[in-house]
Amino acid sequence: MGHDFGRYLKIRGAWGAGWSPDGQRVSFLTEITGVPQVWEVPAGGGWPEQLTFHGERVSGAEYSPTKDEILFGMDAGGNERSQLFLLGQGGGEERDLTRDPGAIHYSGGFSPDGARVAFTATRRNGTDFDVFVQDVPDGEPEVVWEVSGYHTVSGWGPDGSFLIVARHRSNTDNDLYRLDLESGEATLLTPHEGEARFRSPNVTPDGGRLYLATDRDGDFVRLARLDLATLELGYLTPDDHDVEEVELSPDGRLLAVTRNVGGYSDLMLFNGRGGRMPDPEVPRGILGGLAFSPDSKKLAFTLVGPTRNPDVWTMPLPDGEARRLTRSSTAGIPPRSFRTPTIVRYPSFDGLEIPAVFYEPENSDAPVVVNVHGGPESQSRPTFAPVTQYLLGRGHAVLLPNVRGSTGYGKRYTHLDDVRLRMDSVKDLAHAAYWLRERGHERIAVMGGSYGGFMVLAALTEYPDLWSAGVDIVGIANLVTFLENTGSYRRALREPEYGSLENDGDFLRSISPIHKADRITAPLMVVHGKNDPRVPVGEAEQIVARVRENGGRVEYLLYEDEGHGLAKLANRLDAYPRIAAFLDDHLGSPAGAGPGGTRHI
């Protein structure tokens, strides 16, 4: 075989572009050092410079609009209690702005004059996200809206007099408010019935309108224009594909929009009045992180594809040529060796066609790893995945199903697994296995993380005869204890999807894999981070103990310095070769796994 797993895990990426105030430099995040840190590169291309040097992951970074300062967030050990820091010119002095390590802080960015930053945080009680404004560099956090629930700051008004604040009820339902910073009055901008998403809002330079993406009046998320005086909403794209990102240029003359079409991105361009312009030409892939330069003449974005690792690109608009700005390493592995998938659909129990991304090696009867995404309000897309490419090189096929409940296929499809419909999505997994067997694939493993880990355990308990092995990464074993113990702010967010303990407790117990663990006959691997605030480590401990009590085979990897997933390269280099060896052993591939046990790292 060509390269060991460690080489694939050292393939790098760059993302999260931001422009310096003079437009001469572009900041970005990359995990070259093992965890994401802030770097910058000349906007015309050149050698990048590292600006932050931490052992913990940086979660986001943006330049001040007026000074050579960068605002960035960082947590500790994967605990997701992010603090906000101000970085001086060229990676100089760092200031801890928030200084409250027990609270979560979500950045809302700099004010237009660069004198203040906005953020939401759980500083008051650990649960509710109040809205704060803070003078930089020496001010203290000031509460500007004390409010119950989960809130984020979406942006500033052009004169710095108001904020656009999002109130989130679930992953598929939110509202936008205009928060006046002088009076403290919060005005609802998006009244609606039922569930609706309002995302990626951009205030026009005159402060009179918002461009945003919403599915309020249709099945898909569309580009819309909201009049802030009348609250009238007008749509600019048809109800056929989800609009994902909206970015208005600083001068208000151009509007860049990405749209999800079959998992790939279309980049669309509009003028400041909402009129459609010719679409820019970019390589096929998935685009995100749109950012206009301060002079509104260039657009930066992240581009990734099934054979293209993530990099930052820039292009002059309206009709310039896209150019790759960063050059992330493929660790010496030739990109031509990476395989592209096909987009397939297979029938489920009720005739519903389930979309999936299917990677196949040369051998037509290859063993298959069915990799289930988390969320469940998420989507598997044809992105770059080093783990997938390595498994292909080992002779495995990889199927990534978008079972009912996934996003990207309309609001109706997303709600097909809500609460009492939960197990219909598990049936979709079983029918993926039936479909694969009809195509000659007899050896099938199921793998997934977070909610995908729940799907792994549900598949192994509901349909034990279909699977040769299972890999559960930070997954849910018991929906009751998950809702009881997840981060306090998250419980209310997740109940519209899963159901509430008060109203649906008996049902949630009845479908939780922990109560059916005696049905697990396939070998199981469980991977978890000790500091996971979303799916607490108790979920892993429950299922590992129960399978062992029943005499089953289970291997357990526990990482002491990780949270919801594996962020640190050293831990990925330990875990994923073990996962691959486990799959090789039980799918009949060349390498074998060692005996079962627990490993603490």
Q: Which residue, of 27, 59, 81, is where some domain finishes?
A: 81
299 and 384 housed in the same domain: no
Distant-in-sequence, close-in-space partners of 333: CB < 8 Å, separation ≥ 6: 2, 3, 7, 8, 11
87 and 63 in one domain? Answer: no
User: Is 505 a member of any domain?
Assistant: yes
Q: Is the pLDDT of residue 427 over 60?
A: yes
Q: Residue 592: pLDDT above 60?
A: no
Q: Look up tokens 């997840």; give the residue.
A: 486
Tell me whether residue 99 is in a domain: yes
Domain boundary among 31, 61, 81: 81
H/E element, 278: none
Instruction: List the structure tokens of 281.
Output: 């030409």
In a domain, residue 300? The reply is yes
E strand spans, 360-402: 368-372, 397-401
Averaged over 107-114, what is the pLDDT? 98
For residue 318, whether the previous peptide bond is cis, meaning omega lies within 30 degrees of 0, is yes
Q: Looking at the structure, tell me whether residues 231 and 344 fall in a common domain.
A: no
Q: What is the pLDDT of residues 485-500, one digit of tens each?
A: 998 888 888 999 999 9
Summary mean pLDDT of the chain: 95
Boundaries of domain holding 517: 340-600
Instruction: State whether 492 and 560 are in the same domain.
Output: yes
Per-residue pLDDT at 598: 61
The pLDDT tens digits for 293-327 are 999 999 999 999 999 999 999 999 999 999 999 99
Backbone angles phi, psi at 588, to 5 degrees: 80, 25
As a whole number of angstroms, the distance between CA 64 and CA 71 comes to: 7
Q: 90 and 65 in one domain?
A: no
Kindly tell me if the per-residue pLDDT of 23 is higher than 80: yes
Instruction: Output the six-digit token pair for 416.
Output: 């097909």
pLDDT digits (tens, 9 = 90+) for 531-586: 999 999 999 999 999 999 999 999 999 999 999 999 999 999 999 999 999 999 99
CATH code of the domain covering residue 295: 2.120.10.30
Is 330 domain-assigned?
Answer: no
Mean pLDDT for 493-518 is 95
Burial class of 154 by CB neighbour count within 10 A (0 to 12, 13 to 18, 19+): buried
Spatial neighbors of 336 by CB under 8 A, at least 6 apart, are none
Task: Give the total number of structural domains in the chain.
Answer: 3
**Are the beta carbons of 361 and 589 closer than 8 angstroms?**
no
Percent of the chain with pLDDT over 90: 95
Mark which of 30, 58, 81 sits at the end of a domain.
81
Residue 532 lies in a domain: yes
Q: Residue 301 in contact with residue 290, Cβ under 8 Å?
A: yes
Same-domain check for residues 415 and 479: yes
**For residue 599, pLDDT beyond 70:** no
Does some domain include residue 448? yes
Which amino acid would we find at residue 157?
G
One domain for residues 255 and 366: no
pLDDT at 376 over 80: yes
Domain match, 438 and 579 both: yes
Domain co-membership, 401 together with 482: yes
By C-alpha distance, which of 572, 207, 226, 554 is closest to 385? Answer: 572
User: What residues are paired with 369 via a beta bridge?
Assistant: 398, 445
The pLDDT of 460-466, averaged and rounded, is: 98
Q: Can you give the C-alpha Rg of the chain in angstroms?
A: 24
In a domain, 331, yes or no: no
User: What CATH number has the domain bearing residue 578?
Assistant: 3.40.50.1820
Lowest mean pLDDT across 93-107, 384-398, 481-495, 559-573: 481-495
pLDDT higher than threshold 70 for residue 188? yes
In terms of Cβ atoms closer than 10 Å to its own Cβ (0-12, 13-18, 19+), residue 410 is middle
Q: Which phi and psi angles does 175 have, rounded to 5°?
A: -130, 160
Q: What is the dihedral of CA 107, 108, 112, 113, to 10 degrees?
A: -40
pLDDT band per the 50, 70, 90 thresholds, residue 92: confident
What is the pTM (predicted TM-score) of this model?
A: 0.95
Q: Is residue 333 part of a domain?
A: no
HSE-up (13 A, CA, CB side) for residue 69 = 23
560 shares a domain with 574: yes
Q: Which residues of 158-292 form beta strands (DSSP E)?
A: 162-170, 173-180, 186-188, 198-203, 209-214, 222-227, 233-235, 242-248, 254-261, 264-271, 276-277, 286-292
Confidence (pLDDT) at 600: 60
Residue in 167, 270, 161, 154 with CA at minimum distance from that of residue 201: 154
Q: Note whether 65 and 46 are same-domain residues.
A: yes
Q: What percent of the chain has pLDDT over 70?
A: 98
Q: Quote the pLDDT of residue 589.
A: 61
Residue 292 CB contacts under 8 Å (≥ 6 apart), including other chains: 19, 247, 248, 249, 250, 254, 256, 298, 299, 300
Residue 601 pLDDT grade (very low, low, confident, very high; cuts 50, 70, 90): low
At residue 90 the predicted structure's pLDDT band, cuts being 50, 70 and 90, is confident
* Same-domain check for residues 90 and 76: no
pLDDT one-digit tens code per residue, 197-241: 999 999 999 999 999 999 999 999 999 999 999 999 999 999 999
